[in-house]
Amino acid sequence: MAEPIQFPDIELYRGWGEPMRTECTIHGLELLEGAIPEGLEGTLYKVGADRQYPSGRDDDIFIDGEGMIHMFRFEDGQVDYVNRWVRTTRYEMQREAKRKLFGRYRNRYTNDPEVDNSVSMGTANTTAMFHAGHLYALKEDDLPYEIDPDTLETIRRTDMNGQIGSACFTAHPKVDPVTDELLGFSYQARGDGTKDIVFYVFDAGGRKINEVEFEMPYAGMVHDFAVTDEWAVFPFFPMMTDMEKVKAGGAYFEYHPDKPTHVALVPRYGKAEDIRWFEGPNATAGHMMNAVRVGNKVMLDVCYYEGNCFEFFPTPSGDVAPMVPPFLTRLTFDLGRNAKEYEVERLLNVPVEMPRTDDRYQGRPYRHGYCIARSPDGSSGTGHVNMETGEISIWRPGEGDMVQECQFVPRSASSPEGDGWLLIPVNRVSRNRSDLAILDAQNVAAGPVALLKLPFKVRATFHGTWVPKHARETGRYEYGLAGAA
């Protein structure tokens, strides 16, 4: 007889955190206000974490949980919604057992005894990626899972036809919608606690055209990276893995408040011997907004924590370093000098996270940035940052309500930078359901041009991608650049 399913009464599972655990299809979301912009045709894919079964542990964290992929399809003036579990190895094993088999976050030494140590723990819960006609769900400690772009059924776990030789692939790839190149990486590439990292470049057809393998300063976390026309920027913040503590059942990462930050600039089409190394102050970060090369200088714009960004990962002594707010910050690396230090300049004094741009301008000079702007009352809004003036304008959905990460959609394939729409899942916390808001990307403070209702809550999505109708049909984005707006 299977054991009863009972989630513990802890903060993680209360209120908005209560697991969704539901697959559903809605043909035509209700339009609450405004009008869906004419010509907005395509699909927004988002991935997040949900709870398949309770773990019975008190050290669960919100970034863990089984992958759930969400689809908002814009077609013929309506929006359909579909969500499905990603059928990972982990998900299928637990479904068969009818209970939780996997233990502490990324710690295979806390798994149920019936789980072999060779089994992948990946959840595919972080990012949706579309490239060369294929849709994937990603988590950085596993290989990608290919997903059917129409039904959301899981097709397979894939190493891109044998082209990814590492144990895993990033949850923050960069798909250049102008060149149709895919840039990604693997950290702890040879397994848990290793210092190997591999950088990959794939062409528009999905063929690997460059691979650079090198060693990190320590076995750390590299959640995100950034690219320019010539460089890939890898910050190594002091969030490290101690395998002895992991084997004893401890946290997979520890924050080291006394260690510096290291940054590697890896040539986009070059070799490991051409990497440029830099060193800077103690800090952490999860997400990069963009990077740009101007002459001999590379500028990285990042949501920068002058301390710890993950309160659930302890220090080596076992203490919890208080989480500090993130501020949009520019790190400048001067390739024309032999010095290894870099400049740190705060760009914005409003705490922000989950930064996005007009994807066509990733790695290129840009004026428009978008982010989640936090409020002291716990609510949040979507912010538009003018990167030239430092001004920010914010749309807030209402007291106590929160926004999830936005997705920029160009008005047309070659419209100027920032000319388009922001698609934003909204947490209507007081009503225990969600909305999908559509904002004018250059006038976010004016509020939604359209608001669509979901009759239930979309508990959590982390990152996603927009796939225009023509790209879904042809496998290519066919975007162009029209200069800054």
pLDDT band at 464 (very low <50, low <70, confident <90, very high): very high
Write down the pLDDT at residue 478.
Answer: 87
**pLDDT digits over 26-75, tens only?**
999 999 999 999 999 999 999 999 999 998 888 889 999 999 999 999 99
Torsion angle (degrees, nearest 10) of CA 135, 128, 86, 379:
-160
30 within 8 A of 452, measured Cβ to Cβ: yes
- Domain count along the chain: 1
Beta bridge partners of 420: 410
Mean pLDDT of 423-432: 96
What residues does 252 pair with on adjacent strands? Answer: none
Q: What is the mean pLDDT of the chain?
A: 96
Identify the H or E element spanning 45: strand 42-50
What does the angle CA 312 – CA 314 – CA 315 come to, to the nearest 5 degrees? 155
Q: What is the pLDDT of residue 485?
A: 41
Cβ-based neighbours of 376, under 8 Å, separated by 6 or more: none
Q: Is pLDDT of 483 > 80?
A: no
Prediction pTM value: 0.97
Mark residue 170 as left, alpha or beta (left: phi above 0; alpha: psi -120 to 50; beta: remaining). beta
CB-based contacts of 466, cutoff 8 Å, min separation 6: 42, 43, 44, 45, 359, 407, 408, 409, 423
Question: For position 2, what pLDDT does the model report?
Answer: 83
Condensed to tens digits (0 to 9), the pLDDT of residues 444-461 reads 999 999 999 999 999 999
Residues with Cβ within 8 Å of residue 358, at least 6 apart in sequence:
366, 368, 408, 410, 417, 418, 420, 441
pLDDT score, position 3 = 86
Percent of the chain with pLDDT over 90: 92
Determine the pLDDT at residue 49. 97
How confident is the model at residue 484, as a pLDDT? 42
Note down the domain range covering 442: 11-474
Report CA Rg, the chain.
21
- In this prediction, residue 442 carries a pLDDT of 95
Encoding tokens for residue 226? 């950034």
Q: Is 407 helix (H, G, I), strand (E, B) or coil?
A: strand
Helix (H, G, I), strand (E, B) or coil at 110: helix
Q: Give CA–CA dist 260/36, Å, rounded.
A: 48
Question: What's the CA gap between 63 and 61, in Å, rounded?
Answer: 6
What are the φ/ψ torsions at residue 110 (nearest 5 degrees)?
-110, 10
For residues 370 and 386, give the distance between their C-alpha atoms in angstroms, rounded to a whole number: 9
**Mean pLDDT, residues 274-302:** 98
Sign of the dihedral defined by the CA atoms of residues 328, 217, 144, 232, in that order: positive
369 has a pLDDT exceeding 50: yes
pLDDT category at 377 given cuts 50, 70, 90 is: confident
**CA dihedral defined by 300, 304, 306, 311, rounded to 10 degrees?**
-140
Round to whole Å and give the CA distance between 225 and 199: 10
Instruction: Please answer whether residues 186 and 211 qualify as being in contact, where contact means their C-beta atoms are separated by less than 8 angstroms.
Output: no
Q: Is residue 482 part of a domain?
A: no
Place of tokens 């990042």: 302
CATH number at residue 405: 2.120.10.30
For residue 119, is it within any domain? Answer: yes
> Considering the domain boundaries, does residue 206 fall inside one?
yes
* 94-137 pLDDT, tens digit each: 999 999 999 999 999 999 999 998 899 999 999 999 999 999 99
Tell me which residue of 99, 96, 173, 93 sits closest to 135, measured CA to CA.
Answer: 173
In a domain, 483, yes or no: no
Give the whole-angstrom CA distance, residue 303 versus residue 307.
Answer: 12
Task: Give the Cβ contact number of residue 204 at 10 Å.
Answer: 15
What share of the chain in percent tops pLDDT 70? 99
CA angle 142, 147, 151 (to 5 degrees): 150
Is 212:269 a contact under the CB 8 Å cutoff?
Answer: no
Q: With a cut of 80, say whether residue 482 has pLDDT above it.
A: no
Task: Tell me: pLDDT of 334 over 70.
Answer: yes
Residue 127: inside a domain: yes
- Sheet with 134-138: strands ordered across: 127-131, 134-138, 145-147, 154-157
Tell me the pLDDT tens digit for each residue of 155-169. 999 999 999 999 999
Q: How far apart are CA 7 and CA 299, in angstroms?
A: 46
